[in-house]
């Protein structure tokens, strides 16, 4: 959610990426909440920290 909010606010002014300790499906509630404020996260793919190293 933080990545989507930041990208929505700053666009391409800054590089934004986020990772977690494990990958997996997004929480459907997070998708719904972000949709309520006009941010589509339905195609977001989670990434692990290991993927960047």
> From first to last of its 53 residues, what are the pLDDT tens digits of the chain?
999 999 999 999 999 988 887 777 888 999 999 999 999 998 888 888 887 77
44 lies in which domain range?
2-52
Integer Cα distance of 21 and 5 in angstroms: 20
Integer Cα distance of 1 and 33 in angstroms: 9
H/E stretch holding 50 reads: helix 49-52
Q: What local confidence, expressed as pLDDT, does residue 9 receive?
A: 96
Q: What local confidence, expressed as pLDDT, does residue 31 receive?
A: 93
H/E stretch holding 34 reads: helix 28-36
Integer Cα distance of 32 and 40 in angstroms: 9
The pTM is what?
0.74
Q: What local confidence, expressed as pLDDT, does residue 49 receive?
A: 83
Q: What's the number of domains the chain is made of? A: 1
């Amino acid at each position: 959610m933080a990545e989507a909010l930041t990208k929505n606010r700053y666009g391409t002014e800054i590089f934004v990426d986020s990772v977690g300790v494990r990958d997996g499906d997004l929480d459907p509630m997070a998708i719904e909440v972000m949709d309520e404020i006009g941010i589509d996260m339905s195609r977001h793919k989670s990434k692990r920290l290991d993927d960047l190293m």
